[in-house]
Amino acid sequence: MPILKSRNLVWLLAGLLSCSQYSAQQVRLEGRTTANGNQYSLFHPGDLAIRVVTQRPDAADSRYQLSVAAAYTDLETDQPLDLLIDQGRELQARPRLGFLDGVLTIVGDSLRISRIAKGQPPANPQLQVVRRQHGTLLLQELLLYQGQNLRDPGGSVFQRRALVEFANGRFAVAESVADALTMKQFGDDLLELGVRNALYLDMGDWDEGWYKRGGQVVKLGNRRTETARQSSWLVFVKR
């Protein structure tokens, strides 16, 4: 009997460990509502790596657990705009969009959101480090920086999505349920949700994304009309 019990215990522990590892490799979805009633979905990567890729992720590939549009797309070439360095390869020497003030740097498993002057490239030493370490450097619109909303009132209204960093240094993708938010309102809501830094992700007609829940692919985005022209993707991927 002691041997049988020991074996049963081993099997039980193995099963629990397997379930724990399986759960750790999934996207964790958290629903939040702000005081003004705006609803948000927060997609937490858990043990998944966050990457930017330039080849469309295949939803049938078990490595990919979430995929959303990242950089803006050049309407003439259908190539990503201001994805300066892609896994160590320089794609653009200088920014082409003069209003981008946010930088996403990915080197290995290290992510950083930083700020630059609009229309200016990041400092050359930073670019050299990213190239040398085969990292990725993407420019986008900065919504929040160090707990401050950088957006002015007014402007267009859309469903909104961003890569966000909380005060504890953890990252997530935040997406609004409503499709009539200004950038300023989106930023205010993210502050209320505890976000410290937030980098915008391409939306509007380029808003299609997806994540996996229990093995099923759940689509994101309300419009999805320019899906075929998406040119870069922010993904949660198994290590």
Is pLDDT of 13 > 80?
no
Domain-located, residue 92: yes
Q: How many CB atoms lie within 10 A of CB 88?
A: 14
Quote the pTM value. Answer: 0.89
Is residue 11 in a domain? no
User: What range does the domain containing 131 cover?
Assistant: 27-237
| Residue 1 belongs to a domain | no
Sheet of 171-176: strand order equals: 28-33, 39-44, 171-176, 161-166, 195-200, 142-145, 148-149
> Does residue 48 lie in a domain region?
yes
Residue 10 lies in a domain: no
- Whether 12 is in a domain gets the answer no
Q: Is pLDDT above 60 for 12?
A: no
The number of helix segments (H) and strand segments (E) in the chain equals: 3, 17
Query: What average pLDDT does the structure give for the chain?
Result: 91
**What average pLDDT does the segment 74-80 reach?**
94
| 41 within domain boundaries | yes
Q: Name the nearest CA neighbour of 72 among 237, 234, 219.
A: 234
150 vs 79: CA distance, rounded Å? 27
Residues paired with residue 189 on neighbouring β-strands, in sequence order: none
More confident residue, 91 or 21: 91
- In the chain, how many domains are there? 1
Q: Is residue 153 part of a domain?
A: yes
